[in-house]
Amino acid sequence: MRTLRWFSTPRMNLILAALVVLFGVAAGHSAWAAPGYWRFTGNGVSPPQSQLDETDRATRATGRASETRVSGAFQAASSGTGSVDLFLKNDDVDRRGYLTTLKFSFTTGAEMRTLTPGQKVRFNGGLVMGGNALSKALPASGTGTIAVDNGDYFVSTTGAIDQPASAAGDFVVPSGAPGSTLTIHVAAHIGSYGGLNGRMDIGYEWVAGPAPQPGPAPQPGPVGGGSSGGGFSGVWDTSEGAMTLGQSGGQVSGTYSQDNGRVEGQVAGGRLTGYWGEDGSDQRCSTQRLGTFYWGRIDWVLSADGRRFEGKWSYCEAEPGGSWTGDRSGVAGVAPAGGQAPVGADRAGAGPTVPGGLTGDRGDRGASRPQVERLLTDVSNPAACGVTDTSVLDLSATTHVTRVDIWYHWGSGEGSVGYTLSGDGRRFASGVLNRAECDPYQTAWCVARGAPNVTLPPGRYEFRLDRANICQNASSGGAGFIKAWGHGR
């Protein structure tokens, strides 16, 4: 009997190795390289505001101050833009109040409704903090981080009050399998007198099969496209502040200046219906939309020439009834030749766009007249003071309010006080007023000074302070003393 022999040579070994690899690829390709993609499923914020509210109520029941808010928003379509916002207000054993705010915003500049394995996504993050003098003196600090599936941070930055910070980082989209999920964690932290953590989770699920072709990016709507269903894209001057909208097919999303405002909705026949959301308003809904408990419905109709919309808004799911209007101030993202700012964009001294290519408040095409700040109201008199927590501002026309002085009785060691500016059932601004010039003889009576820098439509507005120490008397009709400055729009 002849014995079979195995001949091993370097050449034979290379051939066998190649065969093993080829057979392995042929046999296993369908298992570990099956086509698929990640589909966006939604985003949510933690801890829930209901939990924070319960803790705040328990703390206030002991006689201490406590107000905490965590909110967030994310636009998966087109830009991959979002933010996590924190608000922390409390006091120490001496009843000195601390106020600290933080916004950690980010953008990818890319479509984020679907992610494909191997895709590299770059996140650009920015952190901005605000607060009163006591928090700044601590000093209060803040962090913002981004990670995927609880892995290492690929974006991490640290800042302080009046010291913004930024960071950028990439992550490569992994592959998946049926039933698997992927989560992007965007987290923020305030370290002040006490602390506050907030996190937004952006979720995806694995879908087998080829990824769908991305829809068209939002394009600037034609100025005359009111009835085309594509005319909402662009930059708008609205009764709720400056607004930028993008439209893709029948979907519209965008942001506006008031309280980190955002809108989403659907267009049919020049009519946009959907929802608005803000970080705070005068009515809190029982459920979240757009990453917040402060939201409501919108119903807007675009004019036939596409230059204006008129519509209504409401709180939560109530039928829209309040007025919300807007005038087109330019076309988003489109710059004329020479690299100049888009028509209608904010420019020094330039007013809103008007027909003929000129802008409001301009004397001619070559030069602009700067906006002149003027005194809007002066409620004060030399009589003795009682106290209130509210000062009133009446406006007969749309006005940009730049700064305010309120005559206030300061406590020992108190250097700032929180305020809220509201009108017509809505909150337009909030922040802090800082101690300024004092009476030379009654040194506890000093100016509380701030710069709201907010545009308001005609109406009556209230500056409500955290403590009822504003001067008022019979001669002022019980209204708090206030001086306010600004200019027309």
Count the neighbouring beta carbons within 10 Å of the beta carbon of residue 112: 23
- Read off the pLDDT band of 10 (50, 70, 90): low
pLDDT at site 371 = 53
Lowest mean pLDDT among 268-272, 296-300, 445-449: 268-272
Residue limits of CATH 2.60.120 in the chain: 374-488
Cα dihedral 60, 63, 65, 68, rounded to 10, equals -20
For the segment 415-438, the average pLDDT, to the nearest whole number, is 88
Residue 122, phi then psi, degrees to nearest 5: -105, 125
pLDDT over 70, % of the chain? 79
Instruction: Give 384-420 as a DSSP string.
Output: --EEESEEEEEESS-EEEEEEEEEEEPPTT--EEEEE
Question: Exposed, middle or buried, 417 (CB in 10 Å: 0-12/13-18/19+)?
Answer: buried
pLDDT at site 228 = 37
Q: What is d(CA 158, CA 173) in angstroms, rounded to the nearest whole number?
A: 26
pLDDT at site 194 = 83
The model's pLDDT over 163-179, given as tens digits with 9 standing for 90+, comes to: 888 889 999 999 999 99
Q: What is d(CA 82, CA 114) in angstroms, rounded to the nearest whole number?
A: 16
Residue limits of CATH 2.40.128 in the chain: 234-330
pLDDT at site 190 = 94
- Read off the pLDDT band of 291 (50, 70, 90): confident
The CATH architecture to which 374-488 belongs is: Sandwich (2.60)
Residue limits of CATH 2.60.40 in the chain: 36-208
pLDDT at site 157 = 92
The model's pLDDT over 29-69, given as tens digits with 9 standing for 90+, comes to: 334 446 899 999 888 889 988 889 888 899 889 888 899 98
pLDDT at site 313 = 93
The pLDDT of residue 225 is above 50: no
Parallel, antiparallel, or unpaired for β 66-75 and 241-248? unpaired
Q: Which segments of 192-343 does DSSP mark as H helices, in order?
A: none
Mean pLDDT of the chain: 78
Global pTM value: 0.45
For the segment 116-128, the average pLDDT, to the nearest whole number, is 91
Query: 76 or 344: whose pLDDT is higher?
Result: 76
pLDDT at site 188 = 95
Domain 36-208 classified CATH 3.40.50? no
Do 184 and 40 contact (CB within 8 A), yes or no? no
pLDDT at site 73 = 80
| Fold type of domain 234-330 | Lipocalin (2.40.128)
3-state helix, strand, coil in the chain (%, to 5): 10, 50, 40
Q: Largest alpha-carbon pair distance within the chain?
A: 128
- Read off the pLDDT band of 310 (50, 70, 90): very high
The pLDDT of residue 486 is above 70: yes
Do 298 and 310 contact (CB within 8 A), yes or no? no
**Most confident of the ranges 127-141, 172-186, 214-228, 280-294:** 172-186
pLDDT at site 111 = 84
pLDDT at site 122 = 92
3-state secondary structure of 26: helix
- Read off the pLDDT band of 348 (50, 70, 90): very low
Question: Exposed, middle or buried, 14 (CB in 10 Å: 0-12/13-18/19+)?
Answer: exposed
428: left (phi over 0), alpha (psi -120 to 50) or beta: alpha
pLDDT at site 481 = 96
pLDDT at site 77 = 74
